[in-house]
Amino acid sequence: MRSGVERRVWGMAALAAMLAIAPGAGPARAQCLACSAEMWCVASVSGATLCLGNGEACLMGGRCRAGGSGGYQSDYAMIQLTVLEDAPGLAGPGRARVLRDAGPIAVGRAAQRLARDAAGGAAAEPGIVFSGVGSGEGATVAFRSRRGDGFTLRRDADGRGAVVTLRALHAGRPGMPLARERLEEHDALAVRVTLEGRPRIVIVQAPTLPRAEGEAREREARLALRGANGARPVPPFELEPVAD
C-alpha cells in the first residue's frame, strides 16, 4: 500500500462491509459483483450490478441479488473506464468519438493516449482523474459528484462487444443523451461530460468475452493500472443506480 494513501470503497460502502464472497462459488456461477479487500471487483452471490476497481479504490452501484437481473452473466461483461481532465480538441458538451481498433487495454496511460487521439492528436495527454476496470451489464448507473452533476452509463452486451449508452446526469436522473454506440471488442468510446462543474473526458471500452478470456484481459488491465491514479486514488464521484 502506498504511504499516506487511504484505501476506500465508495458508493455501496456499507453493503460492501457486510458482503461475504461465497466459498467455493466460482465466478461463472455468481451473478453479482463486490469489492475485495484489495480494492478489485470480484464475483459474489449478492452485491452490485456494476463495479469498478483499481487496487486503490473500488466502487459499486446498483443492488444485485443472486437469481435476479443484472450483474455477472454467462460471459464476461467487462468495463474499462477512465475519467480524464478535459481535452479541448473534443469540442462541445456531449461530443463523442468512437476509436476503432484501439487495442485491448483502455485504462491508465492507454486511456490518456486515446483521449489525445480523440482530440485530434495535437494536444498533450490529459491527466487522469480516475481509471478502473470491472464489470456490469444491463443496468443504468449514475456517476455522481458531490456537486450533483455527472453522467450515467449503461452497457448491453452485443456479440464480443456491447452497446454503450451515456447520458448527462440531471436532477439525479438520466438527462441529455451524450452517446449511444455499439463498440466492437477493441473499440473505445471517448465522450465529453461535465463532472464537478467542469468538462471531463470519459474513455470506455466494453468487450464481452468468454470468462477465461475476460479474466485474462482484466489481469492485463490491472497491470496497466499500477500507479495510474497517482496522488488522487479516491474518485471524485459515487455510483448510484438510476431508472432509465
pTM: 0.84
**For 22-37, what is the mean pLDDT?**
59
| 124-138 pLDDT tens trace | 788 999 999 999 988
pLDDT beyond 50 at 4: no
Q: Name the residue with higher pLDDT: 30 or 190.
A: 190
| 199-213 pLDDT tens trace | 999 999 999 999 899
Quick one: cell of 63?
Answer: 443492488
**For 97-118, what is the mean pLDDT?**
94
Distance CA 167, CA 165 (A): 7
| 47-90 pLDDT tens trace | 898 999 999 999 999 888 655 544 444 578 999 999 999 866 65
Residues whose CB is less than 8 angstroms from the CB of residue 212 and which lie 6 or more positions away in sequence, other chains included = none
Determine the Cα angle at 97 with ends 141 and 214, to 5°: 55
**For 100-115, what is the mean pLDDT?**
95
Quick one: cell of 62?
Answer: 446498483
**For 157-176, what is the mean pLDDT?**
95
Of 209, 205, 48, the C-alpha closest to 131 is 205
Q: Is 176 helix (H, G, I), strand (E, B) or coil?
A: strand
Of 233, 132, 244, 126, the C-alpha closest to 177 is 244
Residue 232 has a pLDDT of 63
Any idea which residue has 475519467 for its cell? 83
| 227-237 pLDDT tens trace | 887 656 678 99
Residue 67 has a pLDDT of 56
**For 27-31, what is the mean pLDDT?**
45
Quick one: cell of 19?
Answer: 458482503
Task: Report in angstroms the alpha-carbon separations of 102 from 106, 112, 114, 187, 194.
Answer: 8, 12, 8, 5, 24
CB atoms within 10 A of CB 236: 17
DSSP code string of 84-142 = EE--TTS-STT-EEEETT--S--STHHHHHHHHHHTTS-SPPPPEEEEEEEEE-S-EEE
Quickly state the pLDDT bin for 180 (edges 50, 70, 90).
very high
pLDDT beyond 90 at 244: no
Distance CA 76, CA 34 (A): 15
